[in-house]
Structure 1
Amino acid sequence: MATATRTDRLILMPLTSDQADEAFRVYSDDRVWGHRPQARHETVRETLKVIERTAHSWEAKNLGPWGVYLRDHPSDFVGVGGLELVDDKVWDLKYRLRPDKWGSGYATEISEAALAAVKRTDPDTPITARVTTNHPASFRVLEKLGFRAVWEGRRVGTEDNPAEPDVRIYADRELPPDILETLINRP
């Protein structure tokens, strides 16, 4: 298992079940899910399922999502961010941060660390990100990192739910049709 990664302001620890309570506080916060309230976690068990699912990334490629802490205050949990390997075909860049930490550039800092790590360890695998279309702050982060939008539409299984926002898929390169199809059909 990987060790901690340090950036100028953050400590990025491989996300494990030991961080479930801290991650749940982020995943269950209404403000974090303002753009998609129906995705908010109701129980710590939901958060543990995410952590268990993303553990495959660490097992397969020794890279995955991190629990994020402040470097100046190592016990201060900022949120979750990094990469998840999807179907062993593509990396999915993601971050969820405590609302009191928004606007500080942490999403960009986490993303830059993730991109640097994947370029060292797995540069041939595409990197993507899915963002709801009502979340322009995340668009700006991704576009600043050089990602471009490659698809926009309804999330699978939400076609009949008007409360569910559309999703936009970003990528660091042109995607082969089969990979794009996998991402489009991912719930």
Structure 2
Amino acid sequence: MRTRTSRLDLDEPVVTDLDALYAICSDPQSWTHFSSLRHTDPSVTERMLQGWSELWRRDGLATWIIRERGSRTVGGYGGCSKRQNSFWNLGYRLHPDAQGKGYAAEMCEIAVECAHRTEPDLPIVAYLLEHNVASARVAERAGLELITRGPDVGNPDADAVRLVYADRSLTADQVDVVLSA
């Protein structure tokens, strides 16, 4: 499935995207805010890609491959993926060469629209580390508001704080699910 914005082609991932995805996921500059998640083995990226394909089949919406309009070069990935059948998770990762051009915000705006059309009863949530100011601005531009902040469960940095943005109020149970995701 292809979705277009004014500057981007957003495509459902395919197996031929694997090498480009691994290049992004293994690049330390792509992980400046959470370096412990950097991929050091292509099989991790392959499992991620397979998971996205399963989500597309199951939910009809998941993570896209991001390219500049008309380009074959993968600039990143992102979109809304359903998590624990409780919420849409809005997220992205861009190649360092694609950062700072507004692509994340452009993709996130259309991802929010698509999630609202696909399953409007589910909240759209973006969770990020407190020091990732650029991602917070992208979430706000996509229409999400800061709901809560708390410990980032599973982060090797015990002092890491997770911010949770959402398109609506969340129940305490929903916040607990997001904070543990």
Give the TM-score category using the shorter length. Answer: over 0.9
Give the Å deviation of 1:147.
0.9
Q: Normalized against structure 1, the TM-score is what?
A: 0.90
Task: Calculate the aligned-residue CA RMSD, in Å.
Answer: 1.6
Is 1:78 equivalent to 2:41 in the alignment? no
> In structure 1, what is the equivalent of residue 19 of structure 2?
21
Matched residues, number: 181
Separation in 2 of the partners of 1:64 and 1:137?
22
Give the Å deviation of 1:17.
3.2
The one-letter code of the counterpart of 1:172 is D
Contact 1:56 1:85 in 2 (8 A): no
Give the Å deviation of 1:60.
2.2
> In structure 2, what is the equivalent of residue 165 of structure 1?
160
> In structure 2, what is the equivalent of residue 88 of structure 1?
85
- Residues 162, 82 of structure 1: CA spacing in aligned structure 2 closer, same or farther, 3 A cutoff? closer
Q: Secondary structure at the match of 2:29?
A: coil
Separation in 1 of the partners of 2:154 and 2:87?
21
Give the Å deviation of 1:55.
3.0
Q: Normalized against structure 2, the TM-score is what?
A: 0.93
Is 1:57 equivalent to 2:52 in the alignment? no
Give the Å deviation of 1:177.
2.2
Separation in 1 of the partners of 2:104 and 2:19?
21
Separation in 2 of the partners of 1:162 and 1:118?
32
Contact 2:9 2:70 in 1 (8 A): no
Separation in 1 of the partners of 2:121 and 2:170?
12
Structure 2, unpaired ranges of 5+: none
Separation in 2 of the partners of 1:170 and 1:109?
17
Is 1:184 equivalent to 2:179 in the alignment? yes
Misfit runs of 4+, over 6 Å: none
Contact 2:162 2:179 in 1 (8 A): no
Separation in 2 of the partners of 1:127 and 1:81?
14
Structure 1, unpaired ranges of 5+: none
The one-letter code of the counterpart of 1:85 is K
Contact 2:112 2:142 in 1 (8 A): no
The one-letter code of the counterpart of 2:122 is T
Report which stretch shifted further, 10-19 or 101-110. 10-19
Give the Å deviation of 1:164.
6.3
Contact 1:69 1:78 in 2 (8 A): yes
Give the Å deviation of 1:43.
1.2
Separation in 1 of the partners of 2:46 and 2:67?
19
Query: Quick one: percent identity of the two aligned structures?
Result: 32
